Structure 1
Amino acid sequence: MSSVHIIGGGVAGYTLARELVRHNYAGTITISDPQGLPYDRPPLSKTLQAEPFAPAAWYAEHGISLLPEMVEDLPLPDSEDDWVVLATGTTPALLQVPGAQHARTLHTAADAAALAQVLDSSMFGLQVLVIGAGLIGAEFASTAKMLGAQVTLVSNTEAPLASVLGQDLAQQLHADHAQRGIRTITGAVASIEAGHAVVDGERLDAELIVSAIGVQPETSLAAALGLGIDDGIVVDGEQRSPSHRQVLAIGDAARVQGARRAVHWEAAMQDAAQAAATIMNAAPVQRSVPWFWTDRHEMHVETVGEFSQAATTIIRRNRRGKIQTVFGLDHGGTLVAASMVDGGLMAKAVKRLIARGITPSIEQLEDPSVGPRELGRNER
């Protein structure tokens, strides 16, 4: 009988299993992950809770074996009916300073549970130091503040996530931390000890220190299997490793040759859908316009498209003068990206416009009275 062995129980691994079930795959499906029941990662930094994708009964119903194991090596498939799929995700980047071991990370359900226990069991006003103000750092800082902690957030830039959100909105969102009672510091951590860290010569006391300086692709198993690695596990457009046609890689650990590695939820789902198509010998999956989101301080922030392609930006402000939406245009004046705060239907509208190659007029982009349904109307 044919088989698919999925290594990793994040969104990519789970989505592949679900897609295979949906397409009536006749072989066996196995998911190996040391954390057991597959769960969604984004809620970890937002709520400090793990949310399983499906109950254990769903896997049993569809004959999917869940193996709570760390896979460090395994035999490569020797049949065209058998597949190994690496959905190994990422590991936290570690601080390279003296005393870095005193800083916790937030990457797994166990990490989130441990941090939640500290916050829940501590007195109001617990001193928390968060190092790194990107996606995870900003979300955790917001969560800790809402749980009553006294939070200091250290960043090496005044506009974290500028490459994703655009410079203007990224800078505004980072500045918003101070308005929510979080102290922000732009600087570099020199050292850490139990109970404090030194940042640009200043001692910052903290009962809880969390490092959130980014992630790296988890490629140790791929390396053990002799697969090609270059900022991730190298794959082709079918998610196949050029080193072995029956080995696929998907999600945050994978990088398609000639493209940047995508590190986000929707991209991982699309990788999984393509892997399912490859296994089932079906038509290739049509990729959608990139989409990214984050939640912080009761704000929902979305980005569509690629701000790395933007040469100019058009800013739309709300009645209080705050940036509501930033549109990015390339050198030819074509709409290629947009980011927004509590944008409602705007993200979906802009996603459709980019997919269809439609660019609204500058006047429409700037005018807050032009809603998502009207944006780009009559444009070609």
Structure 2
Amino acid sequence: MSVEHTTVIIGAGIAGVHAAESLRKEGYQGRIVLMDCDKEMPYDRPPLSKEWITGETDKASMLLRDPGTYERLDIDLKLGMEVVAIDPVRKTIDTKDGSSYEWDKLLLATGSKLRTLSITGDDLQGIFYLRTMADAIAMKQHMQHVKEVVIIGAGFIGAELASSLKQLGMNVTIVERSSYPMEAIIGREVSEYLLDMHRRNGVEVITGDSITQFNGETTVEEAVTAGGRRIPCQAVMIGVGVTPNTTLSHPQLQAEGGYVVNEYGETSIPDIYAAGDCTVWPYNGVPIHVEHWDHAVNHAKIVAQNMIHSQSAPYSYTPYFWSDQHGSRFQYFGHATQWSKTVLRGSIDSNAFTYLYLDDQNIAQAAFLANQPKNALPVRRMIQQQKAVDPEALADESVALKKVPRMF
């Protein structure tokens, strides 16, 4: 292969691996250097809170690609490499070990980093954040003799962990600071539904409270809340969200809640691109940030195309994520930070419904699906079309979603 040109990709997660693979599929003949600070072969993160914890999958099956794939595609995979500086003039990057790499095109696929808490006693053994394979291995080893677990945060990671650990027969308590977790994303009615689902499945959920102290000799034995609750536990999982990993910076590199990119994945510095969870990108004319597996894959593929054929493929994507909890599959399409009305299609009590979020013009901005995968495709199309719909017909299950009248 020709090595006249070099593309360096920083981050070997979902976005980085798919971008490298897509470059080859698009016919790129130059050198590809794919690097990551993690020493593990690139792996899939979502199963860490589900199939890995419950023992339904092993380490090898979580690899994003067979190790031989990188050799076959002539991708120079460099693990355990931390990038510390970018020089856009010389077109080089420097790593912590003192190495320097030249590049013609650079892709930032640095993903996200954990939000952390500072709580008295948080240096005790048995207190975990779940982000990396190393975290998951340490957690799984510790959990072998644990009966009582406290989970801080009722977001999707915390909720999935609660489901997985309950499945293993543990007593699980979730402590959530807000009264209605994820209300800003899914609304109060759906938030109440999810809280009730966990309680029906034997998970104790404490809302409107927070952990202020951990007690124990060497290993955590008790979590104390601001409201005075004392919760016995032998393990604590902290899942209070993530933020875009924009640690790697440069004065000319615009980062506002993520590396700011245009519809082609271009950053504010020529020949530097960014893809996936670390970005803020234009959606329906508004800059947004999402941290979804599906977005990371699709964004990386499109950005890779634009790295080869400049500004040839604008990114047009409807955000999507899913979550498996207590035997249910939840799906969310679109992006809505506010809405004028909601439409319930189906029955919440039946655990099978579609909940839609409409703006003041009756245009669907987002939808939450509970155990109704058949509605996924028509809902996605409805959101993509951005046309007003008839709310009454939308709520009527006798009217097929694809036949709900559009109000032009």
For 1:271, the equivalent position in structure 2 comes to: 299
Q: Alpha-carbon deviation of 1:176?
A: 0.8
State the match for 1:155 in structure 2: 176
| Pick aligned residue for 2:363 from 309, 318, 334 | 334
**1:294 matches 2:319:** no
Q: How far apart are the structure 2 equivalents of 1:127 and 1:104? A: 14
How far, CA to CA, are the matches of 1:332 and 1:22 in structure 2? Answer: 42
User: Is structure 2 residue 76 aligned with structure 1 residue 55?
Assistant: no
Tell me whether 1:82 sits opposite 2:104 in the alignment.
yes
Cα RMSD of the aligned pairs, angstroms, is 2.3
Distance of 1:319 and 1:328 partners within structure 2? 15
Q: In 2, Cα distance between the equivalents of 1:115 and 1:371?
A: 46
The answer as to whether partners of 1:85 and 1:249 remain within 8 angstroms in 2 is yes
Q: Identify if the C-alpha distance between structure 1 residues 338 and 256 changes in structure 2 by more than 3 Å, giving closer, same or farther.
A: closer
Of the candidates 116, 121, 127, which is equivalent to residue 99 of structure 1?
Answer: 121
Residue identity in the other structure for 1:217: P
In 1: Cα distance, 2:72 partner to 2:405 partner = 47
Partners in 2 of 1:29 and 1:366 — Cα distance? 50
1:318 matched residue in structure 2: 347
1:362 aligns with 2:391: yes
CA–CA distance in structure 1, aligned partners of residues 39 and 336 of structure 2: 35
Residue equivalent to 1:2: 5
- The answer to whether the Cα contact below 8 Å between 2:259 and 2:279 also exists between their aligned partners in 1 is yes
Q: Does the CA-based 8 Å contact 1:270-1:287 persist in structure 2?
A: no
Provide the residue aligned with 2:140 in structure 1: 116
> For residues 205 and 141 of structure 1, what CA distance do their matches in structure 2 show?
16
Flag as ranges the 4+ runs of structure 1 deviating above 6 A. none
The 5 Å alignment of 1:194-273 reads 194-199=220-225, 200-222=227-249, 227-242=253-268, 244-256=269-281, 259-273=287-301
Question: For residues 255 and 350 of structure 1, do their structure 2 counterparts lie closer, same or farther at Cα, with a shift above 3 Å needed?
Answer: same
Partner of 1:274, secondary structure, is helix
- For normalisation by structure 2, the TM-score amounts to 0.85
Cα drift, residue 285 of structure 1: 3.0
Match of 2:99 in 1: none
Which amino acid in 2 is paired with 1:146? Q
> 1:143, 1:44 → 2: CA distance?
10
In structure 2, the CA distance between the partners of 1:180 and 1:67, relative to structure 1 (3 Å rule), is same
Q: Distance in 1 between matches of 2:348 and 2:131?
A: 38
Distance 2:179 2:329 in 1: 20
2:366, 2:142 → 1: CA distance? Answer: 39
Secondary structure of the corresponding residue to residue 143 of structure 1 = helix
CA distance in 2, matches of 1:265, 1:101: 31
**Unmatched 5+ stretches in structure 2:** 92-101
Number of equivalences: 374
Name stretches of at least 5 consecutive residues in structure 1 with no aligned partner.
Answer: none
The normalised TM-score by structure 1 is 0.91
Residue 156 of structure 2 is aligned to residue 135 of structure 1 = yes
Choose 317-326 or 3-12, whichever is displaced more: 317-326
Tell me the distance in 2 between the aligned counterparts of 1:250 and 1:101. Answer: 35
Q: Indicate the SS of the match to 1:14.
A: helix
Residues 179-219 of structure 1, C-alpha deviation per residue, up to 9 Å, x if partnerless? 00100001111122322111121111110111001112222
SS at match of 1:262: coil
| Separation in 2, partners of 1:72, 1:85 | 12
Is contact 2:290–2:319 with CA below 8 Å preserved after alignment?
no
